[in-house]
Structures are given as C-alpha cells and as structure tokens.
Amino acid sequence: MPEEKIHKKWNENPMLKPRIEKVTVNISVGTSGETLEKAATILKQLTDQQPCKRKAKQTIRDFGIRKGEPIACLVTLRKEKAKDFLKKAFRAIDSKVPKKSFDSYGNFSFGIEEHIEIPGIKYVPELGIYGMDVSVTLGRPGYRVKRRRRAKSKIGADHLLTAEETMLLIKDEFEVEIT
C-alpha cells in the first residue's frame, strides 16, 4: 500500500493510527551474582526504572545454568519514557533498522552491542560493558478488546497492524532508515 494512502487512512480514522504500546529492554547475562547486579545497575541508569530479574526456565549443564537461577534483567517502558528511550537507542544504532527485524504483527526488535554507544552514557570501569535487546510492541487503539479479562472479543482483520504500517510510523516519528 502506498505511503500516501496509509497516511490518508490514518487521518480519516484516528483509531487506525498505530502507537507504541511498550518497549522492553533486556540484558541477558547468563549467570547470577555480581555480573547480573552490574547489568541491573546499568539498566537502572539508562531507564530510571528498577529492573526485574528473570530466572532460567531449564538447567543447561554445559553453560553452568540451573533452573530457577536469575540470569537476566529487563525493564518495560511505556508512553513518553518509551519514546525517549527509543530516540536514544536509535542513535546508538545509527538510525538504521533491518527489514527482517519486523514481524508480521508490526512489532520489531533490535540489539545494541555496547550500552556505551547510547548518547549520554559514560563508561564506568567498575560496571563494564553490556549489550542489550530492545523489543518494541505496537498496537492500535482498541487492541485492549482482545487482551482484557472480561468480555474478550476478536479484532477484525482490517484492524490488525502490518509490518508495512509499522515501518512507516517509525520512519515518520523517529526518522529511522529501514534497510
């Protein structure tokens, strides 16, 4: 669908314009203890939110991971905090997102190899350098209908978000190049 046609559709019906529902920032360390605490400190500095720790789902002896051991930390950002973080994160990856990062439902993910690439973050030798995964979930007004607990309902095919619409929104709002 051409870009002008999509913009026209969004202007005619504001319920069709996509929006960022949440941004999930994950640092997976693979071990608990001091390294996980350092990663959590970095995540707190980046997002101004307390990260939550995630536990291993299964034991992997080769990697020294036991089931139930905390091995990662993540933060979920919404509304303005999500947009502000995304602006910084896109600058860390030179405002380029590969086309293969988008799924068929309009969500996308990308990785940042070193957290010190994010503008405004200084290297602290005691903490080290960590990479992170950033996952962006998009939706339209009215998506709550399929997720709510009471009176759940289906969403029509016309209201579902496509990867093409997500790419257009990201290009317009954040001036990101899709490669």
Residue 95's domain comprises: 3-178
**Number of domains comprising the chain:** 1
Phi, psi of 60 (to 5 degrees): -125, 100
Q: What is the pLDDT of residues 12-39, one digit of tens each?
A: 998 899 999 999 999 999 888 899 999 9
CA distance 151 to 118: 43
% of the chain exceeding 90 in pLDDT: 74
Indicate if the pLDDT at residue 120 is higher than 90. Answer: no
Indicate if the pLDDT at residue 1 is higher than 80. Answer: no
Q: What is the CATH number of the domain that holds 173?
A: 3.30.1440.10
What does the DSSP assignment read for 14-80?
A: GGGS-EEEEEEEEEE-SS-SHHHHHHHHHHHHHHSS--EEEE-SS-BGGGTB-TT-EEEEEEEE-HH
Indicate if the pLDDT at residue 145 is higher than 80. Answer: yes
Q: What is the pLDDT of residues 60-83, one digit of tens each?
A: 888 888 999 999 999 999 999 999
